[in-house]
Amino acid sequence: MATFMATHDVDDVDHWLKSPLLGEIVARFEGATVRKFSNPEGSNTTGVLLDVPDHLVPQMMEHMESEEVLEKEKADGVQHDTILLLVEA
């Protein structure tokens, strides 16, 4: 299992937290899980912790750059240029 942590800014934290779109993206990859995080200080910085079965990592990484995902990010107010992706060492 590969673990990824990502942070990014969003236009509206409450909207992003309630939106099902990230779950829809991850649901395509059987066995993958995602957890959402928000900054308790009240900024628009949010994060996700994503666990992906090792054999699905290449497909997941490719899918994350697809037009479909970019459209869902936009609908959720994710500021794409602020995404920072980290991989568990």
Give pLDDT tens digits for 28-53.
999 999 999 999 999 999 999 999 99
Average pLDDT, the chain: 96
pTM, full prediction: 0.89
- Whose structure tokens read 């995602």? 34
* pLDDT at 77 (0 to 100): 97
Rounded-to-integer distance, Cα 34 and Cα 57, Å: 14
